[in-house]
């Protein structure tokens, strides 16, 4: 099929490369003046992937929307503005696959809801979620991911079109749970980095156990299945987020505690604000997320806020 990717950062560029590798006709879009797009135009790649000559590069949004499949990989907080621009071009009959994880600050809205509000009446919206790092994929290391959408036919069409040797796709069955789980795992990743910086990486077992349980409670309160927290989009993504040297969120948490600068995007920094608001609105306790928020936004000591939380005595595990 003809496929476009909007967003030429690390993950968007990989998706464009992957789609071409499995046989699709690909267009990669970046905003006018994008440093990422300029690098790709100048060198033919970004240091992680190298593009075939027939991958089309453009800074014209209308050209990207000419494809039947439009994959979106931008920062979560810029999605609403982007979808507003797309809506003005009145696309029809397209499938928008959101290849990104996060929640909107202020509203706490899931990303698929934002996209559907903008283009949903005449187009399909799906999410592409799950574990995996570009560095491992391009080295030939496979992984499993999830496609979810409201429409069962959309899921089946995308799984069929996107499956390849590097990625085995599963059909999602809980859009709420998968999106909340995927977004919140980045907050757990930040917490893991904080533990690494404090020299108590042994507490990651407790972090994973308790973190999954509190996110499951939130998913249930929002109308999803608590079991989704134990699937690929949350617990199944912990290896890539909590332990991997490639995890931006883990590295950000580690750098934050050490007082070091970190210039890459760490979506969990924004997501924890949205999660905190959702938890308060729905009367759900998220102690780990609250601790991460307190460290990032209120200046609390990480060892006191997070280390103390995971080593305190408790009466019941569940």
In a domain, 301, yes or no: yes
In a domain, 49, yes or no: yes
pTM comes to 0.95
Whether 156 and 261 share a structural domain: no
Whether 24 and 72 share a structural domain: yes
The CATH number given to whatever domain includes residue 306 is: 1.10.1040.10
| Confidence band, pLDDT 50/70/90 cuts, at residue 96 | very high
Domain boundary among 171, 186, 215: 171
Residues with active-site annotation: 185
Whether 58 and 137 share a structural domain: yes
Who contacts 247 (Cβ-Cβ below 8 Å, separation ≥6)?
A: 133, 189, 192, 193, 240, 241
pLDDT digits (tens, 9 = 90+) for 236-248: 999 999 999 999 9
Whether 260 and 117 share a structural domain: no
Whether 14 and 58 share a structural domain: yes
How distant, in Å, are the alpha carbons of 10, 138, 210, 264, 272 from that of 47? 10, 11, 37, 15, 31
Domain boundary among 171, 203, 227: 171
Number of domain units in the chain: 2
Whether 195 and 165 share a structural domain: no
pLDDT at 312: 59
The parent domain of residue 122 ranges over 2-171
Whether 84 and 71 share a structural domain: yes
Mean pLDDT of the chain: 95
Whether 154 and 240 share a structural domain: no
154 close to 93: Cβ distance less than 8 angstroms: no
Domain boundary among 148, 171, 194: 171
Whether 253 has a pLDDT exceeding 90, the answer reads yes
pLDDT digits (tens, 9 = 90+) for 56-93: 999 999 999 999 999 999 999 999 999 999 999 999 99
Whether 33 and 139 share a structural domain: yes
pLDDT digits (tens, 9 = 90+) for 164-223: 999 999 999 999 999 999 999 999 999 999 999 999 999 999 999 999 999 999 999 999
Whether 129 and 219 share a structural domain: no
Helices and strands, number each (H, E), in the chain: 15, 8
Whether 162 and 185 share a structural domain: no
In a domain, 318, yes or no: no
Whether 103 and 120 share a structural domain: yes
């Amino acid at each position: 099929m003809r496929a476009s990717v909007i967003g030429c950062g690390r993950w968007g560029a990989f998706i464009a490369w992957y789609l071409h590798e499995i046989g699709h006709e690909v267009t990669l879009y970046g905003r006018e003046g994008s440093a990422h797009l300029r690098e790709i135009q100048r060198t033919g790649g970004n240091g992680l992937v190298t593009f075939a000559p027939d991958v089309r590069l453009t800074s014209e949004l209308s050209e990207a929307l000419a494809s039947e499949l439009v994959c979106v990989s931008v920062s979560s907080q810029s999605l609403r503005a982007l979808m507003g621009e797309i809506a003005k071009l009145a696309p029809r009959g397209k499938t928008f696959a959101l290849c990104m994880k996060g929640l909107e600050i202020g509203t706490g809205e899931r990303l698929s809801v934002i996209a559907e509000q903008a283009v949903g009446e005449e187009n399909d919206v799906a999410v592409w979620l799950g574990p995996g790092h570009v560095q491992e994929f391009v080295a030939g290391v496979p992984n499993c991911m999830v496609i979810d959408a409201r429409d069962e036919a959309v899921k089946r069409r995308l799984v069929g079109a996107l499956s390849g040797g590097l990625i085995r796709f599963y059909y999602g069955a809980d859009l709420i749970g998968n999106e909340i789980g995927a977004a919140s795992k980045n907050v757990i990743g930040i917490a893991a980095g904080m533990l690494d910086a404090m020299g108590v990486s042994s507490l990651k077992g407790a972090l994973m156990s308790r973190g999954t349980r509190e996110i499951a409670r939130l998913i249930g309160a929002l109308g999803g299945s608590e079991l989704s927290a134990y699937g690929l989009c949350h617990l199944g993504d912990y290896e890539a987020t909590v332990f991997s040297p490639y995890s931006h969120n883990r590295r950000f948490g580690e750098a934050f505690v050490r007082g070091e600068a970190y210039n890459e995007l760490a979506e969990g920094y924004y997501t924890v604000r949205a999660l905190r608001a959702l938890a308060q609105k729905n009367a759900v306790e998220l102690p780990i997320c609250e601790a991460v928020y307190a460290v990032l936004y209120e200046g609390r000591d990480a060892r006191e806020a997070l280390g103390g939380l995971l080593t305190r005595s408790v009466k019941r595990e569940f």
